[in-house]
Amino acid sequence: MSVKNIKELKIRLRAQYRGIRENMDPEEKARQDENIAGRIWAMKEYRREPLFFTYVSKPIEVDTVNLILHALEDGKTVVVPRCVPGTFDMEFYRITSMEDLEKGSFGVLEPVPDRCEKITDFSHGFCIVPGLCFDSHGYRLGYGKGYYDRFLSAFGGYKAGICYSSCIQWNLPHGYYDRPVDVLVTEKYIRRMKKPVVSGCTERGKKSGA
């Protein structure tokens, strides 16, 4: 498939899954949000990791405000992104309450830089990853700006995609540099992704400098 066709397909998919989300019954959405949150809190990866990265959700997204409040109650270091004006990069800041947030880029709540500690160590942590759609292999369809694609390429922790089961499909187009999540959490199930198996000859080649 050509680059042009892939772009057109992604535009159609974004419209399709945005429409599904916008037409969700509010009570049903709240129920699904609660189920997803409960699955996150029960995960061993969440419980053992003190550093919790998450975005602040918009109305059509899986609710993360409840996740933030729960993580704060659990004593975790909660880290939230801020879009850097004029770029497609994000900075991350620790927040200690919802009062550390203000409306920023695209009307999304973001940390107030002067009030929050900047976090630059991305070697570990439990990260909630947004997406309009995910596929069964952990790849995501975002909003097209590439903010999280850049961040995930440098993130060394555990990546959890949260999504409604109505917004999951078997395969999504993705590129070489796209990073799948480690686990996909919906209101119905948790799907952990299989890690690629490295052959013995490849490992020997690495050690020998090949």
pLDDT tens digits for the chain (210 residues)? 566 688 899 999 999 999 999 999 999 999 999 999 999 999 999 999 999 999 999 999 999 999 999 999 999 999 999 999 888 889 999 999 999 999 987 789 999 999 999 999 999 999 999 999 999 999 999 987 778 988 998 999 999 999 999 999 999 988 777 889 999 999 999 999 987 544 443 333 443 343
> How many whole angstroms separate alpha carbon 19 and alpha carbon 12?
11
3-208 maps to CATH 3.40.50.10420? yes
Burial of 28 (0-12, 13-18, 19+ CB in 10 A): exposed
Question: What pLDDT was estimated at residue 2?
Answer: 65
Question: What pLDDT was estimated at residue 3?
Answer: 62
Query: Are the CB atoms for 67 and 95 separated by under 8 Å?
Result: no
What's the Cα-to-Cα distance from 201 to each of 106, 195, 209, 210, rounded to whole Å?
Answer: 48, 18, 12, 11
Question: What pLDDT was estimated at residue 174?
Answer: 83
To which residue do tokens 């037409």 refer? 23
Determine the 3-state secondary structure of 147 from DSSP.
helix
Question: What pLDDT was estimated at residue 210?
Answer: 38
> How many whole angstroms separate alpha carbon 49 and alpha carbon 156?
13
Please tell me whether the overall predicted TM-score, pTM, comes out greater than 0.85 for this model. Answer: yes
Cβ atoms within 10 Å of 186's Cβ, excluding its own: 21
Instruction: Tell whether the torsion through CA atoms of 30, 95, 56 and 134 is positive or negative.
Output: negative
Closest CA to 46 of 138, 121, 128, 106: 128
Element (H, E) at 111: strand 109-111
Question: What pLDDT was estimated at residue 149?
Answer: 86
